[in-house]
Each structure stands twice: as C-alpha cells, then as structure tokens.
Amino acid sequence: MNYLLLRAANGKKTERTPVWLMRQAGRVLPEYRKLRLKAKSFKNLVQTPELSAEATLQPISAFAVDAAIIFSDILVVPEEMGLPYTMIEEKGPVLEKTIKNKKDINRIKIIDEEGISYVNTAISIVKNELNNRIPLIGFSGAPWTLFAYMIEGEGSKIFSNAKKFLYTQPALAHDLLDKISKSVINYLVAQVKHGAGIVQLFDSWAGILSPEQYQEFSIPYLEQICKKLSTMVPVIVFAKGAFSSLSDIAILPSSVIGLDWTMDINLARKWSKGKTLQGNLDPCLLYADYKTIEKKTIEMLQRFGSHHHIANLGHGLYPDTEVGKVKCFVETVKGFKP
C-alpha cells in the first residue's frame, strides 16, 4: 500500500509531511463523550470492538489525519496478564492488585500468540472501514512503562515504588520485564496479523530513569520487541523524556523515533542515525490563538525539514483542547510547502 505515513516511516521521500496526533481518539471530541456515555464505562468502550472501532474512526472524520490509531489503552496488557484495572473518573487507572514479590511474578501469565481478542476484532472492523485510505497504527505500552504501573498500581509523578523495585530486587525486575516483553511481542504480532500497518511503543515513563537504568531496564526489552516486529511492520519508539538515551534508542532495530517537545530537533537529527523522527509540538501550544499555532507549527516543520518526519505533538492531546485548534494544527501541516 502506498501510504504517505508508511513511506515517511520507511525513510522514503514524501510529497508532504504526514500528520496524526497521540490520543487523537477520544478526549477532545464531543462525539467521543457521547460514545463514552453510551458505553457506560471506559473499560466497556475498550472491550466492545464495535464501540472502540467507532472511537478510532471519529478523529479520522473530524481531523482528516493521515493515520488511525486503535482506540484502547496500555493497561489492557497488565489486565490480560492477570492484573485488572479500573478507570476512575478524573483520576485515571487503578490496578486492583500489584506485583510485590517473586510469587506474584510467577502467578502472572504471558499473553499468547492469539493476543487480545477484543483488540484484534476492533482492528479488523476498523481496517475494513478504512478501506485502505490510511494506515492503522497498533500500539502497546513499552515494558518499563507497563512494569511501572504493575508495581505502583496507579499513576504517579515519580513511581517511587517501581523505582525502588529496580534498586532492591533487580533480578526479579528483569524476570517481570521479560514476561511483559514476551506478552507485548505476542500482543503486537496479533495486532499486525489483524491489520495494523505500523506499531508504536509508548514508553511514557522513560524520563524518570537515569540513562544507566534506561540502558539496563528498558533498552534490552525494546530491542527484543523491535527485532521481532520490524520484520513485519515499521516500529515507532516513543520514549517520553528520554533525551539522554536517544543514541541508544537510535540503534534499536526500529524505523521511527518519537520526540517530546523538550527535545532539540537538530541534536535529535544528529543522534538519530538518519531515522525518521516523529513529533514534537508541546500539546499546550494548542491553547494558544490560531495565529500562534500556525506560526509554531510551521517553525517546527522547517526545523525538521521536509523528509524523514511525521508531524505529531510531543505527547497526547489534553482533554480540554478546542477541536478547532486541533484542526488548525493538522491543516497547517497538510498545507505546508517547504
């Protein structure tokens, strides 16, 4: 398929820069709020393929982006491994049980080659509806980020329990990271078999590890996943806050490096070994007026240059962003002539 986004991901020249947004599905659209009410709960929305397929497609009509991303959550992986979560309104996810010791790790199951069936079904529905217009992005949390939630049990600014585990029980940490990585590989391969044309790994909590810890507890697991998935589709590694680990990320067998807005584009170009870069506007820019959004978007596009770039924000859209401002960002990218 001659998809613009996949060509850019594969390092080919493109007639314009492709664009999508992290967290484009849900959050800012009034039609998403309606669907969310109809589904009763976030989990029900995620687990009902017809509904999650609809949530996936909403931003395609609303924003005319160059890719769809399957509507789901990174926490479906810990849940499938035996740690169910509840999504608490205004707070976020809370896991009912957490991992504390070896016994807990032994009890955890590895997701098998079937992957997660409701995600597979949602992907098949979306793939059919998209009718090859744009590619579908599959995703998973990266092992370190999933590990952080599995130990901590909820969101946190510092994840001190998860980090304590790395310092006090490093061998056990590796055992758990290994089980998570095997699960992620099977989960993502199943997504690709059902129609995902590219996958993104969200290492949202990369930035709280030292470069040495990132090298020990994240990179080897990203490597295992990229090695397998790259034989099938392009892989995007988005490690938020991991600027000092970019040169390690650059040598992974993956195609695209996601950048957050704190990362310097010129330095990233130097360290990224010619890989395609994705990003990286501050999601808060979309609170500014239209003129400022246009100006900053164009400046970003000029800094990245006209090739080897997928335009995106540097993290997910914030829920209180105006729909018109999102459209302004997308249209500015699409109308840009270098």
| Residue ranges that bind ligand CP3, judged by CB under 6 A | 22-27, 36, 42, 69, 71-75, 87, 92-93, 139, 155, 202, 204, 316
Residue 27 is among the residues annotated as catalytic for this protein: yes
Instruction: Give the active site residue among 66, 73, 203, 248.
Output: 73
Residue 7 is among the residues annotated as catalytic for this protein: no
Instruction: Give the active site residue among 16, 23, 269, 303.
Output: 23
For residues 44 and 292, which CB has a smaller minimum distance to ligand CP3 in the complex? 44
Q: Minimum CB separation from ligand CP3 for residue 136, in Å?
A: 11
Instruction: Give the active site residue among 3, 7, 32, 36.
Output: 36
For residues 253 and 316, which CB has a smaller minimum distance to ligand CP3 in the complex? 316
What residue type is 162 in one-letter code?
A
Residue 33 is among the residues annotated as catalytic for this protein: no
Report d(CA 30, CA 85) in Å as an integer.
25
Instruction: Give the active site residue among 3, 32, 85, 149.
Output: 149
Residue 149 is among the residues annotated as catalytic for this protein: yes
What is the per-residue DSSP string for 27-87? SS-HHHHHHHHHHSSHHHHHH-HHHHHHHHHHHHHHH--S-EE----TTHHHHHHT--EEE
Q: Minimum CB separation from ligand CP3 for residue 13, in Å?
A: 27
How many alpha carbons lie under 13 Å from residue 318 in its C-beta half-sphere?
A: 12
Strand partners, 68: 136
Place of tokens 């164009």: 298
Residue 23 is among the residues annotated as catalytic for this protein: yes
For residues 211 and 316, which CB has a smaller minimum distance to ligand CP3 in the complex? 316
Q: Minimum CB separation from ligand CP3 for residue 115, in Å?
A: 16
Angle of CA points 279, 213, 201, to nearest 5°: 35
Q: Minimum CB separation from ligand CP3 for residue 322, in Å?
A: 17
Contact, 321 vs 278, CB < 8 A?
no
Report d(CA 326, CA 34) in Å as an integer.
19
Instruction: Give the active site residues.
Output: 23, 27, 36, 73, 149
